[in-house]
Structure 1
Amino acid sequence: MNEQNNPTSSHPIIQVQELRKDFGYLQALSGVSFNLNKGDFLTIFGPNGAGKTTLIKILTGLMRPTSGSAIIDGFDALEGNSMLRSRIGVISHATCLYPDLTALENLLFYAKLYDLDDPEERANKSICASGLQLRRHDPVRIYSRGMQQRLAIARATLHDPSVLFLDEPFTGLDLTATNGLKNKLHDLHKDKRTLIMTTHDISCGLEMCDKVAIQNKGKFLFLESIDRIDRESFETLYTETLEK
Structure 2
Amino acid sequence: MSRDTLTPDRIVRTAVELLDAEGLEGLNMRALGKRLDSAATAVYWHVKNKDNLVLLATDRVWGELSLPDLDAVDWRTAATAMATDLYGMFTRHPWLVQAFAAHVVYGEGKARHDDHSLAVYEAAGFTGPQADRAAAAVFTYVLGNAAGAAATASLTRKLDGDDAGAEEQFRDAMAKAREIAMRYPRLRTRLETPAAADYAASPDRTFEFGLQALLDGLEQQATPRKPT
Question: TM-score scaled by structure 2?
Answer: 0.26
Identify the structure with the greater helix proportion. 2
Bigger Rg over Cα = 2
Which structure has the higher relative contact order (CA within 8 Å, separation 6+)?
Answer: 1
Identify the structure with the greater strand proportion. 1
